[in-house]
Amino acid sequence: MTSPTRTPKRLRWRSLVILALLLTPLLWPLQQLAQRYYSGVLAEQNRQTLDLYVANLLGTLRRYEILPQILGDLPDLRRVLEAPDDGQALNSANRLLQRIREQTGADVIYLMAPSGNTLATSNWDQEDSFVARNFAFRPYFREAIAGRVGRFFGLGTTSGKRGYYFAAAVRDGERNLGALVVKVDLDHTETLWGNTPEQLLVTDANGVVILTSRSDWRFHASRPLDAAERAAIAANIPYPTQSPPPLRLEESAWIRQDRTLEETGWTVSILAPRALVDRPVRTAVAIGGGALLVLLLLLGLMMMRRRHYLERIALDTRARQELEQRVQARTQDLELLNSRLKQEVLEREHAQQELVRAQDELVQAGKLSALGTMSASISHELNQPLAAIRSYADNAGVLLDHGRTDDARGNLKLISQLTERMASIIAHLRAFARRDRHAPESVALQPAIDDALSLLVKRRRTLDVELIRDLPDANLWVQAGETRLRQVLGNLLANAFDALAERPQPRRIWISTELTADGVDLHLRDNGPGFSQDALMRAREPFFTTKTSAQGLGLGLAICDALMRALGGELLFANHPEGGALLTLRLRAGAPGVNTQPSEDLAQ
Ligand code: ADP
């Protein structure tokens, strides 16, 4: 039982893991998407910053670009160029330049002779004054003398400060009088940047970093320098070092955006650490992964719940099937048992029928044998009245011959009485010998007693017999035949009246019942003379009677006894201790109910 339930469980978890592996690649596009999005956002930000910075830088430079040409036309300065030894002119030129520098915000403004010597300068009064210094080696001077606007970035040889130099020739027609130079301080352009993770990088035409927010990058070469460039560097001394060390930038760590400034030949770059993108991307991927995990867990939970549900259903189904099988098996057993019982019942019924038949035949055989034994007495009993009839008939003929009609009528009456007696004997014998086709049925006892008494009511009244009934109100049901029971009761009561007729008042009959284990005992007692000793011994015998032939046939008790036995009961007779006869009918109990069977008929 355990292995089939464990296998799908393991399978489910495995499929969940497979599902997770299949779903994990979904994180890759998510990562790409997030990367693209955040890169875009950062690039846009950087582009704006870069634009701002470039505009600022160009603005700073352009502000001073035209200044040397304008200043070159000032007469005070021209005068110095024309008379370099004029101390007063020099002095006023120096002061003029100083004033202009203060007004324009330039770093230094100075005037050079065609030889490259500085004649007048705005920093004339400072320690590192340019006065009398020669800057002919500077490219801007050469450019200016050549008639172009000189531009140059470099460290001040005296100040050591970085600056951008604009130079223009001061001309008088075709003649070069000298040159005017404006040096712009660029140090402050580096401090535009706040404390942001993005870094600024301005490289010149040589690829050397000249302005940067990272001081350790300054004057490093972003690319290898060729010989011409090295020579130019050696000649112009733009940097504090002759050979700038290489700038080692880990390209993958930075997201870079460049802008080239045509007029200076510079490249302005903004470098944003890749971490700025990586961090939100990682967060997005983590959130996505988390969501996926939650989804998977929910899925797993759902699958688990579904599996539990299916398992429960399977378990229920199995239990139901088992129950059904058990019920089926039990039903089969019961059916088998039932059919066996039916068979047994059939066999019993058959056996009972056989028994009843056998009993019937036995009774019949008993009756026949009794009749056999009785036949002598019967023929005697019938012959006697027959002989008497014959003699009365003969006698009647003689009497009629003699005209004694009254006597003859008397004879005929006697004949009639005798035939009546013979008919009575025959009727009793018929009733006795009749094969009773009725099986014992349930009969109410009290109504049967009432019936029997009602037939004898006239006799009872004549004899003035007191009846003492001790019977329960509720009907007592016994196994009997209604007619047969009435016949028995009638016989016994008639015998009691016969016995009571022999004695004086008071005459009493007691009828009482007693419940026994098998049914009911019905006691009939009278206060007559009781059975004689002989009668106690032989009363069951057919034709035994102590009565005169007119009173009794001696068949009553014999027939009653036979009928009671046929009904499964018994007839007992004895004398009561206080005198009189005591007859007991021992009857089997019957099922309570209404007797629906047709009454038996003696004539049948
Ligand atoms: P019968 O009544 O025709 O004589 P029975 O078979 O009914 O035939 O009775 C047999 C005999 O039993 C009677 O003759 C009588 O002597 C005796 N006997 C029957 N019932 C009583 C009774 N209640 N009291 C005294 N003797 C009885």
CA distance 163 to 166: 10
Structural domain including 167 reads 66-185
Q: Between helices 405-433 and 275-401, what is the axis angle to 10°?
A: 150
Domain CATH code at residue 149: 3.30.450.20
Nearest CA to ligand 1 atom 21: 495
Is 193 found in the same domain as 170?
no
* CATH number, domain with residue 451: 3.30.565.10
What are 126-133's contacts with CB under 8 Å, separation 24+?
A: 128/158, 128/159, 129/158, 130/158, 131/94, 133/157, 133/158
Same-domain status, 453 and 576: yes
Instruction: Identify whether residues 420 and 445 lie together within a single domain.
Output: no
Cα 94 from Cα 131, distance rounded (Å): 9
Residue 488 sits in the same domain as residue 373: no
Q: Which residues of the chain have pLDDT under 70?
A: 1-12, 191-194, 359-381, 384, 428-439, 549-550, 594-604
Domain shared by 391 and 532, yes or no: no
Same domain, 558 and 454: yes
Nearest 10 degrees: Cα torsion 309, 313, 319, 320: 150
Q: How high is the pLDDT of residue 100?
A: 94
Instruction: Mark whether 129 and 219 lie in a shared domain.
Output: no
For a ligand 1 pocket test, name from 488, 492, 557 the mutation site with the most ligand atoms within 8 angstroms of its C-beta. 557
- Of the three residues 185, 204, 234, the one that is the final residue of a domain is 185
Q: What is the pLDDT of residue 376?
A: 58
Grouping H, G, I as helix, E, B as strand and the rest as coil, residue 570 is: strand
| CA-closest residue to ligand 1 atom 14 | 545
Report pLDDT for 173.
83
Query: Counting atoms of ligand 1 from 1, which one is nearest the CA of 583?
Result: 23
User: Residue 260, by phi and psi: left (phi above 0), alpha (psi -120 to 50) or beta?
Assistant: beta
The reply to whether 451 and 525 lie within a common domain is: yes
Q: What is the pLDDT of residue 474?
A: 86
537 found inside a domain: yes
CA 428 to ligand 1 centroid distance, Å: 16
Distance 499 CA to ligand 1 centre (A): 8
At 472, give phi and psi (nearest 5°). Answer: -70, 155
According to the model, what pLDDT value does residue 372 have?
A: 64
CA of 538 to the centre of ligand 1 (A): 10
pLDDT value at position 1?
Answer: 42
Q: Distance between alpha carbon 89 and the CA centroid of its chain, in Å?
A: 110
Within a domain: residue 10? Answer: no
Atom of ligand 1 nearest to the CA of 555: 6
Q: What is the CATH number of the domain that holds 419?
A: 1.10.287
- 119 inside domain: yes
Number of domains in the chain: 4
Q: Which of 391, 413, 436 is the last residue of a domain?
A: 436
Please tell me whether residues 431 and 450 are part of one structural domain: no
CA of 430 to the centre of ligand 1 (A): 20
Residue nearest to atom 19 of ligand 1 (CA): 495
- In this structure, the residue with its CA closest to atom 23 of ligand 1 is 496
Q: Which of 81, 235, 69, 94 is nearest to 154 (CA)?
A: 235
Ligand 1 mean position, distance from CA 222 (Å) = 160
244 Rama sector, left if φ>0, alpha if ψ -120 to 50, beta otherwise? beta
Ligand 1 geometric centre to CA of 361 (Å): 29
Cβ < 6 Å from ligand 1: which residues? Answer: 495-496, 499, 526, 528-532, 535, 539, 544-547, 552-558, 581
Instruction: Work out the number of other CB atoms within 10 angstroms of the CB of residue 397.
Output: 12
Q: 495: CA distance to ligand 1 center in Å?
A: 6
Same structural domain, 375 and 461: no
- Taking only Cα atoms into account, the Rg of the chain, rounded to an integer number of angstroms, comes to 78
Ligand 1 pocket, mutate which of 421, 465, 498 (most atoms under 8 A from CB): 498
Confirm whether 44 is domain-assigned.
no
> Within 10 Å of residue 208's Cβ, how many Cβ atoms?
24
Residue 576 inside a domain? The answer is yes
Dist CA 254 CA 198 (whole Å): 9
Pocket test for ligand 1, best of 429, 459, 495, 538 (most atoms within 8 A of CB): 495
pLDDT at 583: 94
Residue 357 lies in a domain: yes
Q: Among 245, 273, 301, where does a domain finish?
A: 273
Would residue 213 count as lying in a domain?
A: yes
Pocket test for ligand 1, best of 497, 500, 545 (most atoms within 8 A of CB): 545
Give residues with Cβ within 8 angstroms of 119, minimum separation 6.
80, 81, 84, 90, 93, 110, 111, 112, 113, 131, 178
Each residue's pLDDT tens digit, 222-242:
999 998 999 988 888 888 888
Q: Is residue 312 situated within a structural domain?
A: no
- Same domain as 503, residue 415: no
Q: What is the pTM of this model?
A: 0.48
Same domain, 81 and 212: no
